[in-house]
Chains A and B, each alone.
Chain A
Amino acid sequence: MSSWQVIQQGLPLFEKGFGLTLWLSFVGIIGSIIVGLICSLLQYFQIPVLSRLASIYIEISRNTPLLVQLFFLYYAFPVFGFKLNAELCGIVGLIFLGGSYMAEGFNGGFDGVSKTQVETGKAIGLSRLQLARYVVFPQGFTLSVPALAANMIFLIKETSIFTVIAIPELTNTALDLIGMYYRSNEYLLMLVIGYAIILIPLSIILTILEKRVRYGTFGN
């Protein structure tokens, strides 16, 4: 079979895998941003107990590999009577991992707002909440955009690890096809192209967005 035929043969499965990678990434990223934002707000406002829990979660999440988190969800959880299907495990795992990265991204942005801006806000009588709403958050979100963007790309790449729990996303599809037809060159090429189609446009869009948001907030 010519390479072209091999590629055509794999195309339908690849399309499915591609769609699944996109979908899992999308849900995982949205979930991570929500979890991250909640954790970051708990820490910013130093909510008793909850902020402490948030930092414990962040430590655990940042210091264990996704692979281990997935194994835990997929193999250890059922022991306690929870049985999640593979895809759900993947999404939960990705959000568990991404939530802490996003939280750190938001935290970095809020910390990046200069102390003098905060003091000036206080000096005109703003309350803590008003200071957050009108000064720290608008500027802090802008400052956190580059970190959030990097995290998105990182999380998309991490979905390749889902292959270990047999979710038929891009990487899993490629490995399966190679196993079936023993044509690794073609399928690895398709795999690279598949990720490139997602990641390259995304990273271009994110770079433009970063500049726009930055200009909108700080004018440079």
Chain B
Amino acid sequence: MAKQILKVEHLEKSYRENHILHDINFSIDEGEVVALLGPSGSGKSTLIRCLNGLEPYQKGNVIFNGKPVVPTEKNWQKLRQQIGMVFQSYDLFPNLTVLDNILLGPVKVQHQSREAAKATAEKLLDQVGLREYENVYPRQLSGGQKQRIAIVRALALNPELMLFDEVTASLDPEMVRGVLNIISKLAQDSNMTMIVVTHEMNFAQQIADRVLFLEDGHILEQTDGTKFFVNPQTDRAKEFLESMDF
């Protein structure tokens, strides 16, 4: 049986009196790819941000590698080395070169030697085809290149779990493919465990071992990837897929 990486139990989240997530339960095993799908405003970003402590939650447990997380900022800060996250807005640090963006975590947070961290970074840059850009500043890159660097920056910490929140949503169409390919390769070649929020249904179908379908802060269904896209369990998921032109 595969090792369980993350488990979420009875998670509840509200912003003041506004209840956003209701009794969220799921788990993810090592090497598994979970696509988190649902209409806009259903709580996908909120949920994924709870999983690395960027959003506080009011009730429930997040269990990482078998240990319940005591949700203090200090604990989350340590765990974030193991739980990488990439955002829609990529947000490279404009004041640092590409290489320094990537090295910041390994060198300052993990206290790796610069040489060792640089070797890893260059290997990763090679994999995303951006090795020759290591000394440029983010302003000299296209959106797609920035997002690929942002992925490398997260991977440089050697995380056990990756969270992707609509990482192609702000890219020009011709850039989307390249970024999605990198994520697919990460799943296939590196067997990375990941939770992916995306509006790219073809991509989700191709990559997802399992789909969590979220609506109004409830998980309406958890279905195998192969099944969800051809035969979703709920009418809401069916409507959702139709609305996505899928």
A218 sits at the interface (CB 8 A): yes
> What is the minimal beta-carbon distance from B90 to any residue of chain A, in angstroms?
8
Q: Are B95 and A122 neighbours in the complex by a CB distance under 8 Å?
A: no
Contacts of B78 in A (CB 8 A): 125
Q: A122-B54, A127-B77 provided; 8 other pairs, C-beta below 8 A? A: A116-B87, A116-B89, A119-B87, A123-B54, A130-B109, A135-B93, A142-B95, A219-B137
- Look across to chain B and name the residue whose beta carbon is closest to the beta carbon of A141: B95
Q: A123-B54, A134-B104, A220-B139 are in contact. Are A116 and B77 (CB under 8 A)?
A: no
Contacts of A119 in B (CB 8 A): 54, 87, 91
| Assembled-state Cα–Cα distance A219/B104 (Å) | 20
* Residue A117 lies at the interface, judged by CB distance under 8 Å to chain B: yes
Q: A130-B109, A139-B94 are in contact. Are A124 and B137 (CB under 8 A)?
A: no
Closest CB pairs A-B (n = 3): A219-B139, A124-B105, A120-B91
Query: Are B108 and A134 neighbours in the complex by a CB distance under 8 Å?
Result: yes
Q: B157 contacts the other chain (Cβ, under 8 Å)? A: yes
Is B91's CB under 8 angstroms from A126's CB? Answer: no
Q: How large is the interface on A (under 10, 10 to 19, 20 to 34, 35 or more residues)?
A: 20 to 34
Contact between chains at A125 and B94 (CB < 8 Å): no
In whole angstroms, what is the CA distance A130 to B138 when docked?
Answer: 20
Q: Which B-chain residue is minimally distant from A215 (CB atoms)?
A: B139
| Complex contacts, B93 vs chain A, CB 8 Å | 117, 120-121, 134-135, 139
B139 touches A123 (CB 8 A): no
Instruction: Report the nearest A residue to B86, measured CB to CB.
Output: A123
Interchain CB contact under 8 A, B87 and A124: no
Nearest CB of B to A67, in Å: 41
Q: Roughly how many angstroms separate A202 CA and B139 CA in the complex, as a whole number?
A: 30
Q: Which residues of B contact A114 (CB under 8 A)?
A: 91
Is residue B120 within 8 Å, beta carbon to beta carbon, of the partner chain? no
Contact of B87 among A120, A130, A134, A217 (CB under 8 A): A120
Chain B residues with CB below 8 A from A130, complex form: 108-109
Q: Which residues of B contact A (CB under 8 A)?
A: 52, 54, 77-78, 80-81, 84-85, 87, 89, 91, 93-96, 104-105, 108-110, 137-140, 150, 153-154, 157
Q: Does A138 sit at the interface, judged by CB under 8 A?
A: yes
Contact of A219 with B154 at beta-carbon distance under 8 Å, contacts A122-B80, A125-B81, A125-B105 already known: no
Which residues between 103 and 129 of chain A lie within 8 Å of chain B, taking CB atoms? Answer: 114, 116-117, 119-127
Task: Kindly list chain B residues whose C-beta atoms are within 8 Å of the C-beta of A217.
Answer: 94-95
The answer on a CB contact under 8 Å between A123 and B104 is no
CB pair A123 B95 closer than 8 Å: no
Contact of A117 among B84, B91, B139, B140 (CB under 8 A): B91
Known: A117-B93, A218-B139. A123 touches B85 (CB 8 A): yes
Bound-state CA distance A116–B165 (Å) is 13
- Residues of A165-218 whose CB lies within 8 A of B: 216-218
Contacts of A138 in B (CB 8 A): 95
Q: CA of A125 to CA of B137 in the docked complex: distance in angstroms?
A: 22
In the bound complex, CA of A138 to CA of B93 (Å):
10
Instruction: From the candidates A116, A127, A139, name the one contacting B95 in the complex (CB within 8 A).
Output: A139
How many angstroms from the CA of A127 to the CA of B80 in the assembled complex? 11
Q: Which residues of B contact A121 (CB under 8 A)?
A: 93
Q: How far is the CA of A183 from the CA of B140 in the complex (A)?
A: 60
**Please, which residues of chain B bring their CB within 8 A of the CB of A125?**
77-78, 80-81, 105, 109-110, 157
Chain A, Cβ-Cβ closest to B83: A123
B80 near A123: Cβ-Cβ < 8 Å: yes
- Distance of A138 Cα from B101 Cα, bound (Å): 14
Chain B hits for A135, CB < 8 A? 93, 95
What is the CA–CA distance of A121 and B77 in the complex, to the nearest angstrom? Answer: 10
Contact call B104/A126, Cβ cutoff below 8 A: yes
Q: Which of A124, A139, A216 contacts B157 (CB 8 A)?
A: A124
Contact B139 A126 (CB under 8 A): no
Is A122 a contact partner of B94 (Cβ separation < 8 A)?
A: no
The answer on a CB contact under 8 Å between B139 and A124 is no
> A175: shortest Cβ distance to chain B, in Å?
48
Interface centre among A114, A134, A142 (most CB of B within 10 A): A134
Are B52 and A123 in contact (CB-based, < 8 A)? Answer: yes
